[in-house]
Structure 1
């Protein structure tokens, strides 16, 4: 189920439409990775942004595929040069979204999707106001609790913290342009397709 909170007008005739960046956010455990993986399968023409990070690669991670891995000095230079759409620190490491590849994809006519947390989504809203913000939500609170506790990989304290953060993130849904419920991965991905490719941004001739 999709709930559109804000809307943009359709482009008029005689103008060139540029796809816009779509930011997908949502609480831990809502299924963002699964839905976006399905979206990638359904629409390989969509550009999916690759974040830059200062953390070391984990086993199996490939530079330029999972992340762009850089040291802290290089990351600081990117921030100073305004080369990142958004950036934040998490668990002692820096993460950010390179601006140039996103702009290049949009300029070439490819819709672009970025998966980030709430803080980053708010930054993108400031740096790229025309971006579309979509929140992925669970069908209900109990479903999210089941998903987080059912992982069995984290202790109760960690799960409790994630749930507290989830409450804050879900409370910010009104800041987003649309809300997509993830009760079924394929259905949610199909709804994202419509949102991502259906509303280009007018840029003029």
Structure 2
């Protein structure tokens, strides 16, 4: 018995002309299989089975519920943010008020005496200044409580340091000997300069006169 012309690939190619034709048919067959599978999921509503319709409806309702829940959560978060902002503003105001009260408490003795001292100075200009020095003890206590310390001492001789001093002339060089006219202040840790000390090459006349007496 002779072999059938369809028994092997060479006879098949002889029958239809070439192996490219066979490959084309295979590709068409695979494409039809894929298209058939896709069409199972792309159908008109009336082609869906009752169980599938219910499943899709339930899924739609679940998605709608999730969206509603997310909108509610987003609204709650926005309100929570507004509440927190209001609380922070209130706390900030309270901190400022507390700071002012605390500061006033520390300098209250000086403020209480200030008006009387000023009136005494106007009424009796000959009043010795040394009688007023004790009033500034309250300021010393305040600086100590705030952990601020002076930079230098009044009329002190020192070497000019651009980091600590502010010269009265622009040509004063680092290391040059100067005199402290007005003390500066810095944090007790030394990492922050609040105000540099004012320095000069010369002493004020009153300092020279005090040194001669």
Normalised-by-shorter TM-score class:
under 0.3
Which structure dedicates a bigger proportion of its chain to helix?
2
Which structure dedicates a bigger proportion of its chain to strand?
1
Q: Structure 2 length as normaliser, TM-score?
A: 0.20
Q: Structure 1 length as normaliser, TM-score?
A: 0.21
Higher relative contact order (CA 8 A, sep 6+): 1
